[in-house]
Structure 1
Amino acid sequence: MPIQYEPTREGRHFLRGFGLDSPAQQHPVIRPGGLGTFIRRPRGDREGAAVTARFEAAQGRWGLIPLFSKEREYPHTFEARGETAASERNFYQPWKRGHRCVVLADALYRRGDADDKMVRVERADGQPLAMAGLWNGWRAPDGECVESFALITLPAVESPTHRRVVFLREAWVDDWLHCPVEETAAYLRPYALDKLVRRTLVRDPDIPLPQRA
């Protein structure tokens, strides 16, 4: 089930956690298909590039575009299932290449139990959610390199029939971005529910509800 999120815009979180400048202006709420900022291990495939930094921020489409795609509006790749992404056609190449990323969000929105409700999720301590993801660079027919990403999900602890985005523990973020590929799955664990605040809200008509899966 696609979700939506409020991107972190305060520069101090990017500077303190990653030594990065504030990201480019982002929309207040990022919806599937929108442009969002993600943090990754610096790309080492740029011609003449000397990689000295440990992190870099990039902007890309939320909805990963696989290398085999013929067009940039590739559907249904907003979320990658953590249990199967390593073997799924849409995600196995970014997985095996170690193209992992982190998306910082002040809050995440998901559908509530009724059509006129939605649930807002945030950290209890007020710090940003560090959402685990995969990214890809796709070469368009005109030669443009288009960046894109997907968020990783797992079955919900409280309801295995539902999916929840993977939130990384703060101490794991660096390791998640830099660990060997064979260690990737070790960081995909449920986040402690007592460290989250979840509030059910009456749906804002300006924020469309996600589509049901």
Structure 2
Amino acid sequence: MCGRIEFTLTERMQRALRDTLQIDAAWPEHQELRPTEQATFLTHSGTWTVQSGRWGLIPPGMDLQAAKKYATFNARIETVERSKSFKEAFRAGGRCVLPLSAFFEWPNKVKVRIARPDDRPLLAAGLWSQQDSSDGPLVSCTVITRPPTEDLTDVHDRMPALLLTKDLDTWLSAAPSQAKAIAMGSWRPGLLTVTPAS
């Protein structure tokens, strides 16, 4: 599972997003995010849009109180098409991308930080949804997970479905079978470092 993410975009990360995706935004700073907190994600419809929503998808027809009973902060790519919580977002234009500076795990109960050594952002596949509520639009998102690459098998049995820049369009707009394949296979071993975290 991916239960802690870091969103602290360095200047180099922000420059990479400007250069590769033409996104120039005033990015919020979150040292470490936990499920149900506000996460930043990107949607694409001609141009990129920076959005923010509850980390823990609220499925269509469900209100926030009901959603609190379920752990919807991760969606397994293997079952996303069949899941009652996630299948509608996956099929109906609800795919998104979460730019992260790192994510955290606890192998052998020791916290580690997993990030790129070249100080570039991680682009994680995600889903998002927007529900109407009495307090206005309720926006939420989730992180797609997959089995780990070979170099991370000792860290955890799951990892975020990280995407290379060249595969973003396929994740966001291709047919479900193609999107699933790219989420499972875009990322390669050897691109991340694992270091002790406080």
Q: TM-score range by the shorter chain?
A: 0.7 to 0.9
Out of 76, 86, 95, which is 1:91 matched to? 86
Cα offsets for 1:113-151 (capped at 9, x unmatched): 12xx112111132211111101111122x1621111100
| Count of residue correspondences | 189
Letter matched to residue 34 of structure 1: E
Which SS does the other structure have where 2:19 is aligned?
Answer: helix
- Name 2:161's counterpart in structure 1: 166
TM-score (norm 1): 0.79
Cα distance change on mapping 1:179 and 1:8 into 2, 3 Å: farther
Where do 5+ consecutive residues of structure 1 fail to align? 43-52, 205-213
Summarize the alignment of residues 99-118 of structure 1 with structure 2, pairs less than 5 Å apart.
Answer: 99-114=94-109, 117-118=110-111
Summarize the alignment of residues 1-213 of structure 1 with structure 2, pairs less than 5 Å apart.
Answer: 1-9=1-9, 10=11, 11-42=14-45, 53-71=46-64, 73-74=67-68, 75-114=70-109, 117-140=110-133, 142=134, 144-158=136-150, 159=153, 162-190=157-185, 191-201=187-197, 204=198
The higher radius of gyration belongs to 1
- Report if the CA contact (8 A) 2:2-2:159 is conserved: no
Where do 5+ consecutive residues of structure 2 fail to align? none
Q: Tell me by how many angstroms 1:153 deviates.
A: 0.6
Structure with the higher fraction of residues in helix conformation: 2
TM-score (norm 2): 0.85
- Report if the CA contact (8 A) 1:112-1:200 is conserved: no
Counterpart CA distance in 2 for 1:182 and 1:112 is: 32
Sequence identity percentage: 28
Greater shift after overlay, 99-108 or 149-158? Answer: 149-158
RMSD: 2.1
